[in-house]
Structure 1
Amino acid sequence: MVTAFRQHLARRIGILGGSFNPPHLGHLRSAMEVMEGLGLDGMQLIPSGAHPFKGREMQATPEERLDMVRLAVSREPRFEANDIEVLQDGVGYTIDTLRSLARSRPTIEWVLVLGSDLLNELHLWKTWQLLIKYAHLCIMTRPGYIVDLQQTEAGRFLEPFMVQSPELLYREEMGRNGVIIQPVTPMGISSTAMREALVAGRSIDYLTPTRVVNYIQKQELYRP
């Protein structure tokens, strides 16, 4: 874990975005492993508002998904649910979120956390080449899985920014943001499967914190 050598540097905060429809233990465990692996000071979990690639299947409202994320992270003081995309009007784009965070909190070094599968579609994102301007990029992958950046357009663009250890990731020492790969434990939990279980009347206990289960039941979410 990164410790003493970071003491003179700015605070670094991770950003994990998603629909969180609903949030589950896979989200939380991945966030924890990235935070500890890179020596981050905290993690912001950002539920999407109006999603550019998702539509009617979003059965919980942005406000309900924000409530669920708040409940999911309520026992981890280093995690925070951020409402920046839920509160904005129209479709939310990651680059706009990063730009807003960077401008409002310029002393923070932001670390955008992405699943390795997103490299296949990153080139479809709005002005995706500018992501590296506003944040370090952390690519999550399962242990033992090698990411071949040459296989995707986005990977080829990001490869020159690649670093091999957290010690080399810092903006102050590099003069720019960097890209790093962080293995995380695969848990095989998906929000889609959880919604399907709820529609079928099955339990989602132990897939998400109990507080989230209770909220879903109280609000009668994901029913047929």
Structure 2
Amino acid sequence: MEEKKLRTGIFGGSFNPIHIGHLALANYLCENSYIDELWFLVSPQNPFKQNQSLLDDNMRLKLVEAAIKGYPRFHVSDFEFSLPKPSYTVTTLNKLSEAYPDRDFYLIIGADNWVAFDRWKSPEEILSRHHVLIYPRLGYEINSESLPPRVKAVDSPLIEVSSTFIRESLAQGKDVRYFLHPSVYEIIEKERLYDFRCCSESVQ
């Protein structure tokens, strides 16, 4: 009898920084039997798109590690760090399947990305070889009945928190600790991450 494969969710992003919205969604997917485990796949800095507000790859990896410590279903992955740039989702998923044949991979994307999914690289290949879980985003309606066989809409709570909001708030000196895991906030505060005030004159 063939051994049942682990259902592994792939949640990719820059996680700049990881926040409670990411964690709550991931927790919901694991605890409501959509998947058995979830990997936070940290996207590397694109060498062709230098972004001054994007933290170093290893620092973002460290923040995710701090956020998920103690919850056995969460894992952090730097798998894309070693792939050619830019890294396309179809390539990442296929390489993951080759490296981990004991797992079925479930791509986790927002409804906004699903609406534009036909513009991704090789969308049909993704849908034929992997599963897709779509979580709700404000302003984007998904018709569950019209979805392809390996695609499923997730009825998760709508938590509209963005990393951009957090970075901008921190740069303004605001205390946004309740939007972040305590361990993540502690590292950000200690290392003065995203604190652009320390690098420029304040405007009165």
Identity %: 31
> How many Å apart are 1:191 and its aligned residue?
0.5
TM-score, normalised by the number of residues in structure 1: 0.77
CA RMSD of aligned residues (A): 2.5
Distance 1:60 1:142, change over 3 A: closer
> How many Å apart are 1:126 and its aligned residue?
2.1
Aligned to 1:10: 5
2:1 paired with 1:29: no
- 1:46-195 alignment, distance < 5 Å: 46-51=41-46, 55-56=50-51, 58-141=53-136, 146-148=141-143, 159-161=147-149, 178-195=150-167
Query: Contact 2:88–2:121 at 8 Å: present in 1 too?
Result: yes
Distance 2:144 2:154 in 1: 14
Aligned to 1:5: none
> How many Å apart are 1:89 and its aligned residue?
4.4
- AA in 2 matched with 1:90: K
> How many Å apart are 1:135 and its aligned residue?
1.6
- AA in 1 matched with 2:148: P
Distance 1:82 1:19, change over 3 A: same
2:177 paired with 1:205: yes
Report the more deviating stretch, 78-87 or 55-64. 55-64
Q: Unaligned regions of 5+ residues in structure 2, if any?
A: 197-204
Report the more deviating stretch, 73-82 or 85-94. 85-94
Query: Contact 1:13–1:43 at 8 Å: present in 2 too?
Result: yes
Distance 1:182 1:149, change over 3 A: closer
Report the more deviating stretch, 88-97 or 104-113. 88-97
SS at match of 2:126: helix
Distance 2:97 2:157 in 1: 29
Aligned to 2:200: none
SS at match of 2:154: strand
2:15 paired with 1:20: yes
- AA in 1 matched with 2:135: M
What do residues 166-224 of structure 1 show as CA deviations (whole Å, max 9, x unaligned)?
xxxxxxxxxxxx11111111222110000001110011211111111111123221122
What do residues 88-112 of structure 1 show as CA deviations (whole Å, max 9, x unaligned)?
3422221111011101111211111
Distance 1:37 1:181 in 2: 13
Distance 1:32 1:103, change over 3 A: same
TM-score, normalised by the number of residues in structure 2: 0.84
SS at match of 2:178: coil
Query: Contact 2:61–2:78 at 8 Å: present in 1 too?
Result: yes
SS at match of 2:179: coil
What do residues 14-57 of structure 1 show as CA deviations (whole Å, max 9, x unaligned)?
11111110000110110111122234221101111135996525
Query: Contact 2:135–2:153 at 8 Å: present in 1 too?
Result: yes
Q: Alignment length, in residue pairs?
A: 193
- AA in 2 matched with 1:25: I
Distance 2:48 2:85 in 1: 13
Aligned to 1:214: 186
Query: Contact 1:23–1:69 at 8 Å: present in 2 too?
Result: yes
